[in-house]
Structure 1
Amino acid sequence: MSKTGKPILKTVPLDEAEDTLDPSSSLVPKKDTRRIWKDEDIEEFQVPDASFETPDALQSPFQYFKMLFTDEMIDHIAYHTNLYSAQELGDTIKTNFLAILLFMGVFNFPSLEDYWQHESRFSVIADIIPKKRFQLLRWFIHFSDNQQCNESQDRFKKIRPLFDMLCEQCLQIPSTNKHSVDEVMVAYKGTRAGNLRQYIANKPDEWGFKVFCRANSSGIIYDLLLYQGPSTFFNVTLSEEDQGFLLCSVTTIFTSFKLVQHLDTSLGVKCIGTVRPNRTGGATLMTDKELMKRGRGAFDYRSAEGVIAVKWFDNKCVNLLSNASGIMPLSTVKRWSKESKAKVMIPCPSLIPAYNELMGGIDLSDMLVHLYKTPAKSTRWYLPLFGYMLDLSIANSWLVYKRECGQLNQKPITLKRFRLAVAHSLKQVNKPASKVGRPSSNVRYDCFGHWPLHCDKRGRCNYCPKGVSRWKCQKCNVFLCLNASQECFAVYHQKI
């Protein structure tokens, strides 16, 4: 407790959390006498391009969305929400509530009440359900049984069932051979989540829940893992879908010499990753000062047991480990020089662009999620995670749709139009079709512009009780018999 009597929020320090993977705290690499390091490069690992079955035709945005956010997930939300609430809320949660959340991600108002206020009423949302109905649904929304949650030791038990269902669907997406693993922050600034809330500098959302993600270079997320301290990796196993790739790029949080070797020997997965100096496996590279004296673009390397350790000086020195790509062939990159006040070319080892190409996928996905973000400000800490899952389902399904557009040489619609199309489809689910009304007498008998229109589908004649016709009046919008034996079209428009 603080002096003011308010509880002090405790968070797990990031460095402490990351060091659980490697207890060594020294930045000086410990030399392994059993490992012999040599000034040799390694051969580049050739990764075959993944091939996907070309679809016969594109599906609707709603169908792509339902590949990830399935009917089973929507039924799960509806069941547990009705179970938690004091009254039966019905099936509105299934579609209308989700549609409103998707609309709100595109049309962002300062307050949720503003969508229904008379001065700022937004009919696209306000006409779906009343404000009090929406507030009731948002207040009672639940994703798990509270009685079962009390018995669980899982710290994310409030959202875990739905989160696992989404992960299963992401694993079903046809995968490429090159993946990257990085962390994503789901924004949350409240105090109710305890030390599940983390802080990471230089992220779009510095405070929030940390989620480990695996993605390809196009931004499609294939797997997710919620960080909850030392118990994060308890009972976590790899499924067959998890092992369907050949090259992985990882960040400093995970990379170590032992990990690179383990992925290769146990799973057949090559690895490229930035690494802390104390996790290189004992490689004695030049110090940062020595490398910086050689100028920008200088590098040093050692290799042992098929793994190469590289230190490269760009804006600052960066350390990498790899068994997939080495130094050669050297390339050049453009950098701004303060001395010459112009862009200069500096040498770049082969593994640097290979690493950058892979690691861009997580950042791309994070950017797409933040473009149209579901409003999730709430006293309940798990609602931001639900909003992230909804936005991720939209981003992932749009990327799959975009990939299939490329296969069929068709131009894809934008992410905003895709999200709005899904929202409109959700709004129309289970909605009764509007009946075609009988035209007014003034229109029916005005003897002007009543042209027969041939339709592909037949409809019930609006004049005779048993007639079925493919002809309809273009102006009255009703089907009428029009053949040699039945002249309903002419009789219908004559005032008797």
Structure 2
Amino acid sequence: MYWKRLFTDQMIEHITEHTNQYSVQQTGRSINTTVAEMEDFLSILLYMGVFEFPSLEDYWACESRFPPVADTMSVKRFKVLRRNFHFNDNFQMEGYTDRFHKIRPLFDMLREQCLLIPPTYKQSVDEVMVAYKGTRAGKLRQYIKNKPDNRGFKIFCCASSIGIIHDFILYQGATTFFNIQKEEHAHLGLEDLSLGAKVVSILCNTITHKEATVVFYDNFFNSFDWVKTLHTNLGLRSVGTVRANRSGGATLMSDKEMVKRGRGVVDFCSEGVVAVKWFDNKCVTLLSSACGVGPLSSVKRYKKEAQQKVDIPCPSIVLAYNQAMAGIDLSDMLVHLYKTPMKARCWYLPLFGYIIDVSIVNAWLIYKRDCNLLKEKPMPLKKFRLSVAATLKGANKVPARVGRPPSAKHKPQVRRPNPRVLHPSLEVRYDGTGHWPTCGTQRGRCNLCKGGVSPRRDLHLVGYAWEFCGLATATALDDATINSLFWHRANYHR
């Protein structure tokens, strides 16, 4: 229920329709997938995000078979669906300025659902990287030096302090804001703004209670003039770190003087916007229109001379910034805990994997928030994801009938295939330790016999049984043993 609030049935139907359409465009015939089969496919992806195997075929291999995946779908069918997985019509995308057109419909539908989540009064704006090291995406792939995934797609996100993603923008260079109308462009005053300021304006424009909300962001987005503009145009208060050349000429203590005085030194000034400078491991400057220095609190830091942690003064603006900015970092950490494996030549499949993961994380955080309100203990993220996968595999499926049918004598006999028996390895088959065929009352099927059915007396059977059992000589078989070998079963002759 929680996951379907974000990854809706409409999204699954959209994927099913365009997957069938793409298979017709590529091969001339449809793969005829259904919504139920697509749910099974998504269930397998959720399982693979928790139980990671070295290769895809290992989930179906005899030595490492994983029943929740292997019993749901065959490996051949899974590869067919994965190869034809699609989200938009390529033939109608010519001339579009959107460079993410292959995955855009799914992101738009997910964004609509994320905007419906009730937000908190502390929102943070930051970038998230979706890992991709291929070259088929062209200049859509970005590089950020200090990120764990430093190469991939950049997404600007707006999140609450508890980690729920509420809004996002896919960065694609000059055409990032292609869908912004001229009226909205003029209303937000985006003409003379930098990239960071434009991102904050568009993401914060969807906040419902602007007067009661405080926005937090880092020095990539912040400047002295922008803090004033945000409060004037949108009525939003903000807190953020700032670079030295964007502080608006605030008269603050120099770095050298702060280093001489030691850790915990605070300096501030106010010229319509509060500017605070604090020295910890190094100097950091913050601009705020929401809070100031006081009240001063303390934080634990290790002091080398005393060889122990000591208390140093810390302004309240720093504590508020660290607490609120942890939202996007928390969401990114939870996404990387159980990541959907979507490595492929198609550059947009890693973005689809991020959609699955962020919808799971958002759903779990909403579920956890509801459990806290009800004072109940929530299940961990791994168990929540496995629960979604197991429920999705059985959702909308016809349940098996329980009990005896009312008219069993008129029920047509349906021939069911025999359960598959795993083949023994060659080392076990030829070890000569007595893996004898069992004696049966019916004739079995044999791949070596003509017609596929073994007769009671066939000369090649004796030789095959001798070779199968790894005996040194055929004379070691007595008449009683040979008679028992004539009645053999299929799993010993495959």
The residue aligned with 2:3 is 65
| Secondary structure of the structure 1 residue equivalent to 2:396 | coil
1:289 & 1:199 partners in 2: Cα distance?
A: 33
Structure 1 gap segments, 5+ residues each: 1-62, 439-459, 464-496
2:247 & 2:9 partners in 1: Cα distance?
A: 47
The residue aligned with 1:244 is 209
Post-superposition Cα deviations, 1:185-235, rounded to whole Å, max 9, x if no partner, equal 111111111121112233221211111111111111101111112332344
The residue aligned with 2:176 is 232
Q: Does 1:128 align with 2:95?
A: no
2:103 & 2:37 partners in 1: Cα distance?
A: 17
1:437 positional shift:
4.8
Q: Does 1:82 align with 2:49?
A: no
1:315 positional shift:
0.7
The equivalences for 1:184-263 within 5 A come to 184-236=128-180, 238=202, 241-245=206-210, 246-263=213-230
The residue aligned with 1:42 is none
1:93 & 1:167 partners in 2: Cα distance?
A: 25
Structure 2 gap segments, 5+ residues each: 25-29, 185-201, 409-494
1:150 & 1:437 partners in 2: Cα distance?
A: 58
- The amino acid across from 2:33 in the alignment is G
The residue aligned with 1:47 is none
The equivalences for 1:321-360 within 5 A come to 321-360=287-326
Question: Displaced runs of 4+ in structure 1, greater than 6 A?
Answer: 460-463
1:380 positional shift:
0.8
**Residue correspondences, number:** 380
TM-score between both structures, scaled by the size of structure 1: 0.74
Q: Is the 8 A contact 1:73 1:162 kept in 2?
A: yes
1:461 positional shift:
7.9
C-alpha distance 338-348 of structure 1, shift in aligned 2 (>3 A): same
Q: Does 1:183 align with 2:143?
A: no
1:386 & 1:244 partners in 2: Cα distance?
A: 31
2:64 & 2:174 partners in 1: Cα distance?
A: 48
Structure 2 counterpart of 1:319, from 264, 267, 285: 285
- The amino acid across from 1:119 in the alignment is E
The residue aligned with 1:156 is 100
The residue aligned with 1:369 is 335
Higher deviation after alignment, 427-436 or 328-337: 427-436
- The amino acid across from 1:96 in the alignment is D
1:312 positional shift:
1.1
Q: Is the 8 A contact 2:123 2:160 kept in 1?
A: yes
2:356 & 2:322 partners in 1: Cα distance?
A: 28
Q: Does 1:291 align with 2:258?
A: yes
The equivalences for 1:417-428 within 5 A come to 417-428=383-394
- The amino acid across from 2:207 in the alignment is D
1:151 positional shift:
2.4
1:274 & 1:293 partners in 2: Cα distance?
A: 23
Q: Is the 8 A contact 2:97 2:178 kept in 1?
A: no
- The amino acid across from 1:374 in the alignment is T
- The amino acid across from 1:248 in the alignment is V
- Determine which structure has more spread, i.e. the larger CA radius of gyration: 2
Higher helix residue share: 2
CA RMSD of aligned residues (A): 1.9
Structure 2 counterpart of 1:399, from 355, 365, 371: 365
2:228 & 2:37 partners in 1: Cα distance?
A: 48
Q: Is the 8 A contact 1:250 1:274 kept in 2?
A: yes
C-alpha distance 341-233 of structure 1, shift in aligned 2 (>3 A): farther
C-alpha distance 231-294 of structure 1, shift in aligned 2 (>3 A): farther
TM-score between both structures, scaled by the size of structure 2: 0.74
1:242 positional shift:
2.9
| Secondary structure of the structure 2 residue equivalent to 1:150 | coil
2:31 & 2:341 partners in 1: Cα distance?
A: 25
1:269 & 1:172 partners in 2: Cα distance?
A: 20
Q: Is the 8 A contact 2:159 2:328 kept in 1?
A: yes
Higher deviation after alignment, 169-178 or 293-302: 293-302
1:406 positional shift:
1.1
| Secondary structure of the structure 1 residue equivalent to 2:311 | strand
Q: Is the 8 A contact 1:163 1:389 kept in 2?
A: yes
| Secondary structure of the structure 1 residue equivalent to 2:93 | helix
1:131 & 1:349 partners in 2: Cα distance?
A: 58
The residue aligned with 1:309 is 275
